[in-house]
Amino acid sequence: MALLGWEAGLLFLAAAAIITFYSYTIFSRILDHYAINGRRLLCFRDMAHHILGANWNHYFVGPLQILICFAEVVAGTLLAGQSMKAIYMMENPDGTAELYLFIIISGVFMLILSQMPSYHSLRHLNFISLLLSLAYSACATAGSIHIGSSSSIAHGRDYSILGDTKNRIFGAFSAISVTASAYGNCVIPEIQATVAAPVKGKMFKGLCLCYTIIIITYFSVSISGYWAFGNRAHGIIFSNFILDNGRAMPKWFLVMSNFFLILQTFAVTVAFLQPTNQLLEKIFADARKKQYSSRNVIPRVIGRSVVAIIATFIAAMLPFFRDIIGLIGAFGFLPLVFVMPIVMHVITFKPTRRGFAFCISMSIIVIFLAATLMGCIAAVREIVRDANTYMLFANV
């Protein structure tokens, strides 16, 4: 919102919600279609292989999905570490512990959670994640409204977009990429694979519930945060709750809010580990042995632990959260979530080329391919600028 302003920010927030809901509904419809016809596709790579062909799966969709999921693990580990440090600094203002220590602690928790065997085993964790989303969104909204109502904040509030024309343009595409990451989900097929047969219509009901929660949380936090802080709003809204002259909210409230955010981050991040885990087990597991035999458990623990350790190392080395999210959104979520479902839908159902649905589909593809290109340029530009400011393993 701070990079787009009120009108453009709200417009794209709403447009991204509508388009991603449309894309995920298309995903669900494609999966339903193949399941009814006797071929149930269980993951994104299966869809790409069956619909687009083996080369698209091996050289584009499969690697891109794994890359996005791994980048999400890096970003989640970093975000949890930043929230841990925020709690530490509130409890010990003169503390000298640096950010990388908290990222390592976050990585240890992630390593433990990564051993959960499958998406099905995450079902209770996902329900807790839903409650945590509502909890920390309520905290963020209530805190923003409380702080924004104070006369000192209201007096200095500014909704103008900072920077010259070039910086505003790149900032806008960076904001679009970040928003795409917020709405992006590249594991929809894997989630639908956990639905018991018959699958028809069940995923759509789940999407409706999901987007009801998304609209409540995303819009309340975005609108209240931008209203309260204007163009000074940070990428992590809780950072705005600590002002130059001290905390604007009680310490217990800030600790509780950050604690909710940490738990929610763990719950979400472990879900993005699963595609990588499945790929590793496909390579190293022995299908002739039982799932929990030593032959399969030992490679599983080693592989998952190595992935979590590498993600933690990268998060500690490059602690630029918004830049990472922007690059994930531009390079990964924009093509994979906004474009690929439309392409698969056109190939599967072959709508008439003169029809309204085909025209809408082609328009979405063209617009978001262009947004992908500009978003990648903007994200790389931001990373280069921050690389000139921060050192590796920076204590930010």
Measured from the Cβ of residue 232, the count of other Cβ atoms closer than 10 Å reads 14
Residue 86 has pLDDT above 70, yes or no: yes
Whole-angstrom Cα distance, residue 47 to residue 40? Answer: 10
Whole-angstrom Cα distance, residue 122 to residue 306? Answer: 21
Q: What is the mean pLDDT of residues 377-382?
A: 80
Measured from the Cβ of residue 282, the count of other Cβ atoms closer than 10 Å reads 10
**CB distance 375 to 335 below 8 Å:** no
Residue 327 has pLDDT above 80, yes or no: no
What is the pTM assigned to this prediction? 0.85
pLDDT band at 336 (very low <50, low <70, confident <90, very high): confident
Question: 3-state class of 42 per DSSP?
Answer: coil
pLDDT tens by residue, 130-171:
888 899 899 999 999 988 887 566 566 788 888 778 888 888
Structure tokens at 101: 């220590």
What is the pLDDT, as a whole number, of residue 155?
60
What is the pLDDT, as a whole number, of residue 185?
81
What is the pLDDT, as a whole number, of residue 224?
92
Specify the higher pLDDT residue, 138 or 185.
138
Question: 3-state class of 30 per DSSP?
Answer: helix
5-387: in CATH 1.10.4160: yes
pLDDT band at 318 (very low <50, low <70, confident <90, very high): confident
Residue 106 has pLDDT above 90, yes or no: yes
pLDDT tens by residue, 268-293:
888 888 888 888 888 888 778 887 78
Across 126-130, 183-187, 252-256, 280-284, the highest mean pLDDT is recorded for 252-256
pLDDT tens by residue, 69-83:
888 899 899 989 999
Signed CA dihedral, 43, 47, 48, 54: sign only? positive
Whole-angstrom Cα distance, residue 153 to residue 145? Answer: 11
Q: Where are the domains of the chain?
A: 5-387
Residue 88 has pLDDT above 80, yes or no: yes
Structure tokens at 345: 């839908």
Whole-angstrom Cα distance, residue 90 to residue 242? Answer: 10
Q: Please, what is the average pLDDT of the chain?
A: 84
DSSP letter assigned to residue 241: G
**Helix, strand, coil percentages for the chain (3-state, nearest 5):** 80, 0, 20
Q: For residue 394, what are the β-bridge partners?
A: none
Structure tokens at 323: 């830049």
Across 18-27, 188-197, 289-298, the highest mean pLDDT is recorded for 18-27
Burial label for 156, CB within 10 Å (0-12, 13-18, 19+), is: exposed
Backbone dihedral region of 246: left (phi > 0), alpha (psi from -120 to 50 degrees) or beta? left
Percentage, residues of the chain above pLDDT 90 = 14
Residue among 175, 160, 230 nearest 12 (CA): 175
What is the pLDDT, as a whole number, of residue 322?
63
Whole-angstrom Cα distance, residue 84 to residue 36? Answer: 47
Q: What is the full DSSP assignment across 79-124?
A: HHHHHHHHHHHHH-TT----HHHHHHHHHHHHHHHTT---SGGGHH
What is the pLDDT, as a whole number, of residue 308?
93
Signed CA dihedral, 46, 52, 58, 60: sign only? negative
What is the pLDDT, as a whole number, of residue 68?
86
Structure tokens at 149: 């109502």
What is the pLDDT, as a whole number, of residue 189?
83
Measured from the Cβ of residue 317, the count of other Cβ atoms closer than 10 Å reads 14
- ∠ CA 40-46-48, rounded to 5°: 125
Phi then psi for 358, rounded to 5 degrees? Answer: -65, -40
What is the pLDDT, as a whole number, of residue 43?
84
Which range among 26-30, 193-197, 275-279, 362-366 shows the weakest confidence by mean pLDDT?
193-197
Whole-angstrom Cα distance, residue 313 to residue 304? Answer: 14
Say how many Å lie between the first and final Cα of the chain, rounded: 23
